[in-house]
Amino acid sequence: MTITNSNVASQVVKQERSEAGTLHFFNHIAVVEFDEGIHADLNVGKKMIKGLLQYFGNSRPFGIVANRVNSYSIDLLETTEIRSIFPNLVAYGIVSHNQAGRMNAEIESQYCSSKNNISFDNLYEGLDTVYKRVVQQLSLSIN
């Protein structure tokens, strides 16, 4: 299920379309839905990276949910560089809608620094969990 076909579509604050896919912005989370067949890397994702930086800056904690509604690949070797671009990325989740997506999420999780589960079978569970992790980080940074 895409964000636009979900019960949370009305809560989207902003949307940005790029050659790689669509970013849906909420208050503390961005949901990325890559297009079918894309190989996501820093070059292809330049517009998305710019959009995330403009929306969240480099100090406001935020989370990303990758909603795997399409089949695509990502350059896992660039994970460290992505982390350096977004030091304020505090939560990440992958929503998979089929077995292939779940296997890819398992592989991606090996490259994440998070000790938390990042793989979800349900869009709402993924959004809720990532949101709670961001809010927890926000409360830690305030105290």
**Domain boundaries along the sequence of the chain:** 3-142
Check whether 100 has a pLDDT greater than 70: yes
Q: In this structure, which amino acid lies at residue 44?
A: V
User: Which residues lie closer than 8 Å to 140 by C-beta, 6 or more apart?
Assistant: none
pLDDT in tens, 53-85: 999 999 999 999 999 999 998 998 888 898 899
- When comparing pLDDT for 108 and 39, which is higher? 39
* Residue 58 main-chain phi, psi, to 5 deg: -120, 15
CATH class, domain 3-142, is: alpha beta
Reduced 3-state DSSP string for the chain: CCHHHCCCHHHCCEEEECCCEEEEECCCEEEEEECCCCEECCCCCHHHHHHHHHHHCCCCCEEEEEEECCCCEECHHHHHHHHHHCCCEEEEEEEECCHHHHHHHHHHHCCCCCCCCCEECCHHHHHHHHHHHHHHHHHHHHC
In angstroms, rounded to a whole number, what is the distance separating the alpha carbons of residues 31 and 24?
5
- Residue 98: pLDDT band by 50, 70, 90 thresholds? confident
pTM to 2 decimals?
0.91
